[in-house]
Amino acid sequence: MSSTKEKILDAMFHLIAEVGYEKASIGKIAEIVGIKKASIYYYYKNKEAILLDLIDTYIDVSRIDYSFYETSNYDEYKQYLLSFGLAVIDEYTANLTLRKVCGEIYLMCSRNETIREKMFFIESKAYGCSVCR
């Protein structure tokens, strides 16, 4: 059985895919989880905090093997990038819900500075920014 916090994140994930971030309300999340609206605030300060935690949960750059940066062999480097890129594309195309949520997150980047900064940090880390790793 998942914790209440995991249930809140799961509800937010599916609600964003269904109605978008703007229409995903704390009340609706509480209803889906089966708790009182006020209980959400025990776990999260606001809806933005839920989204930020959702980003941390679903966008996992820890699976990237950074050792490929050290290779001097062009063919190995190219093969790693191709394999990784194709795996990401396969995962993305196979999961419509994930695509919708990712689209909403990137849309929110244009509207919300905190989310934009979070995604910049994650992408910098994923693409090898030595400051962020």
The amino acid present at 105, given as its one-letter code, is I
- pTM to 2 decimal places: 0.75
Q: What pLDDT score was predicted for residue 128?
A: 54
Q: Map out the domains of the chain with their CATH numbers.
A: 4-126 (1.10.357.10)
**List of long-range contacts for 116-123, beta carbons under 8 Å, 24+ apart:** 118/52, 118/55, 119/55, 122/55, 122/59, 122/61
Please name the residues in contact with 124: beta carbons below 8 A apart, sequence gap of 6 or more. Answer: 131, 132
pLDDT digits (tens, 9 = 90+) for 13-25: 999 999 999 999 9
> Is the distance from CB of 40 to CB of 30 less than 8 angstroms?
yes
87/62: higher pLDDT: 87
Average confidence score pLDDT of the chain: 85
Q: Is the pLDDT of residue 113 over 80?
A: yes
Closest by CA position to 25, among listed 16, 107, 112: 16
